[in-house]
Structure 1
Amino acid sequence: MPTVSSKGARMPESPIRKLVPYAEIAYKNNKTVFHLNIGQPDIKSPQIAMDAVAHHHLDILAYTRSEGSEPYRTKIAAYYNRNNIPVNAQDIIVTTGGSEALLFAMGTIADQGDEIIIPEPFYANYNGFATASGVKIVPVISKIEDNFALPPISEFEKLITPKTKAILICNPGNPTGYLYSREEIETLVKIVNKHDLFLVADEVYREFTYDGEKHTSILEIEGMSQNGIIIDSVSKRYSMCGARIGCLVSQNNKVIQTALKFAQARLSPPTFAQIASEAALNTPQSYFDEVISEYKDRRDTLIKLLEEIPGVKVGHPKGAFYCIVELPVKDSDLFAQWLLEKFDVDGQTVMVAPAAGFYSSEGVGKNQIRIAYVLQKESLIKAVNILKAALKEYRD
């Protein structure tokens, strides 16, 4: 009998999606499931983007350039320049979501067996992308007790070996919501310059920061023209997850020319989605002001209610729309499955993402979950009350 590849066997399941079959059973049993597991915003996509597709003037739905259409890349560059990121259209490759940008980045900078240092917990799919690319993730642990702040330089430097090619961060962070300060970004810049490494920054949540805090891009910092790679996406910025449009950005021409070969191999990004994404760049600031205010209100409500539950510890996010929650349970995977299979309050239950899948260190995060506060506040309140009742019954 033929066998699957060892790489395929090693591919991790998504902690965000692996419980879907249990949710479907809950639906068949006429339960309402509050989805706290997935970062699918309930915010409406900008109407200007939807209209651009509805009123297109194409006669042929043709390929675009492998690096994305030039008008779109020119407008992306203008957006970055407004945000103090000095790039031009030639520094940008449009990708099929931020996911493809990450795959292109790993394929461009690392060979089989090379290493990338990542502060954990991190976006769960980094594990999958690394496995697919033959790259080894070397974790440096950030802790909930420190609100997932950047570990000391010494923790990074003792992990650097001849195989190390890059440090990868997500800023603001998924799953923690942690927002790196300018000083922390400057610290990382010093490390990569000292050791001649790349610094890859997943900045897809750039717009979503709270409490007067500002996002600092790696390409704002002097000395990053050859070492910096940005990963970006329209998915969360414009609530356009289904568009599957992202981009890879670097001022390093060799990086761009190498990544372009990967882009050519998959031909081109989707045409209609580029039309929508190009139009979305004209979204007024008022859209973001309203969205940020809404997310902040949800965050404040969620954190307050979670901290009232006995035995629960919560990270305090400064950006994005996620938080890590430590529960008084031994195994959050079993608890999350039990929630869907065995528990409800008046026919309602919740779906969460077990956090162990957001770590690569074995056994870490087993009693944690990630919550995405992408539901309306009334639903969030119901969901947390259900979680509180579930924890009491589960422990009893």
Structure 2
Amino acid sequence: MPKISEKGLKMPSSPVRKLVPYAEAAKARGVHIYQLNIGQPDIKTPEQAINAVKDTDMTVLAYSHSAGNQSYRDKLAVHYNKIGMNLTDENIIVSTGGSEALMFAMGSICDNGDEVIIPEPFYANYNGFATASGVTVKPISTTIENNFALPAISEFEKLITDKTKAILICNPGNPTGYLYTQEEMDQLTALVKKHDLFLLSDEVYREFAYDGRKHLSVMNITGLEEHAIMIDSVSKRYSMCGARIGCMVSKNKEVMATAMKFAQARLSPPTFAQIAAEAALETKQEYFDEVIGEYIERRDVLIDGLKKIDGVEVANPGGAFYCVAQLPVEDTDVFAQWMLENFELDGETIMVAPAAGFYSTPGMGKNQIRIAYVLEKESLEKAVRILDHALKAYKA
């Protein structure tokens, strides 16, 4: 029998989606599930994005430019320049989601066996992208005790070798919701310049910064022009996860010319989704103000509720719409599956994402879960109550 590739065997399963069969079985039994495992917002997509697709009069659904529609890239540059990025369309390649942008970035700056340093826990698919690209992840651990703040720069320097090509951050963070401070960004800037590395910044949650704090993009940092690569997406900003439109942004001309070859190899990003994404750029600030206000309320309901559960420790997110909670169980993979297979409260249960899959270091995060607070407040209150009862029943 022909053999599967080593790369394929090493490709990790998604910690967010691997419990789906158990959830489907629970639904078949009539159990209502509060899905806290996936970052699919219930916020409405801006109407103009939906209508732009409905109202198109095209007669041929054609390829776009490999870098994305010219009109969309032009408007994206204007959008970014409103927040001081000083970009042109040549600094932007439109991608099929932020995922493809990350693959383009890794493919453009790394060879097989090269290393990328990533603070963990991190977005689980970084492991998959690295595996697919032949890149070795060098994790640097953050802790729930100090809210997942950036480790000392000296800890980063211990990991840097002649194979190190980049540091990758998610700001604000998935799964932690951590928002990097000005001091931390200054330290990272000095580090990548000192060692001549790239700084990849996944900024798909940029708008979701709370408590009066501001997000600082790598594209706003003077002197980082040759080192900075930004990853962006419409998925969370406009509640358009299904559009699969993102982009890779850099002022480094060699990086962009190289990434363009990867973009040409996949031909073009999806046409209808680009039309929707371009229209979404006209979304008024009031939309974001309302959405951010709603997420702050949801966060506060969730965090306050979790803190009241005996034995649960939770970090307070400064952005995005996730938090990591530490539970009084040995293995949250087992516990999460048990909640779907064997537990319900008044005909309801919850689905969470076990956090071990958001780490690269073996054994880390086994007693943690990621919760996405993308449900309305009443549902979050019910979910917290279910978790409380589930933990008591599990330990009994």
TM-score with structure 1 setting the length: 1.00
Aligned position for 2:88: 88
Distance in 1 (CA, whole Å) between partners of 2:131 and 2:189 is 26
Distance in 2 (CA, whole Å) between partners of 1:191 and 1:287 is 37
Distance in 2 (CA, whole Å) between partners of 1:170 and 1:380 is 25
Q: Any idea what the Cα deviations from partners look like across 1:250-270, whole Å, max 9, x if unmatched?
A: 000000000000000000000
Aligned position for 1:68: 68
What is the Cα deviation at residue 83 of structure 1? 1.2
Unaligned runs of 5+ in 2: none
Q: Any idea what the Cα deviations from partners look like across 1:31-60, whole Å, max 9, x if unmatched?
A: 000000000000000001001000012111
Distance in 1 (CA, whole Å) between partners of 2:291 and 2:138 is 35
| SS at 2:166 equivalent | strand
Structure-to-structure mapping, 1:26-65, within 5 angstroms = 26-65=26-65
Distance in 2 (CA, whole Å) between partners of 1:379 and 1:3 is 46
Q: Any idea what the Cα deviations from partners look like across 1:325-382, whole Å, max 9, x if unmatched?
A: 0000000000000000000001100000000000000000000000000000000000
Distance in 1 (CA, whole Å) between partners of 2:224 and 2:276 is 31
Aligned position for 1:142: 142
Aligned CA RMSD, in angstroms, stands at: 0.4
| SS at 2:255 equivalent | helix
Aligned position for 2:226: 226
Q: Does 1:164 align with 2:164?
A: yes
Unaligned runs of 5+ in 1: none
Distance in 2 (CA, whole Å) between partners of 1:242 and 1:344 is 30
What is the Cα deviation at residue 30 of structure 1? 0.4
| SS at 1:158 equivalent | helix
What is the Cα deviation at residue 115 of structure 1? 0.1
Structure-to-structure mapping, 1:97-176, within 5 angstroms = 97-176=97-176
Aligned position for 2:186: 186
2:6 corresponds to which letter in structure 1? S
2:285 corresponds to which letter in structure 1? Q
1:142 corresponds to which letter in structure 2? T
Aligned position for 2:291: 291
Distance in 1 (CA, whole Å) between partners of 2:86 and 2:240 is 25
What is the Cα deviation at residue 3 of structure 1? 1.2
Aligned position for 1:22: 22
What is the Cα deviation at residue 182 of structure 1? 1.4
- 4+ aligned runs moved over 2 Å, structure 1: none
Distance in 1 (CA, whole Å) between partners of 2:154 and 2:324 is 25
| SS at 2:118 equivalent | strand
1:24 corresponds to which letter in structure 2? E
Distance in 2 (CA, whole Å) between partners of 1:83 and 1:122 is 26
| SS at 1:129 equivalent | helix
Q: Percent identity?
A: 66
Distance in 2 (CA, whole Å) between partners of 1:85 and 1:347 is 50
Distance in 1 (CA, whole Å) between partners of 2:298 and 2:88 is 36
What is the Cα deviation at residue 219 of structure 1? 1.3
Aligned position for 2:275: 275
| SS at 1:175 equivalent | coil
Aligned position for 2:359: 359
Distance in 1 (CA, whole Å) between partners of 2:222 and 2:120 is 26
Distance in 1 (CA, whole Å) between partners of 2:112 and 2:75 is 35
The worse-fitting range, judged by mean Cα deviation, of 52-61 and 324-333 is 52-61
| SS at 1:174 equivalent | coil
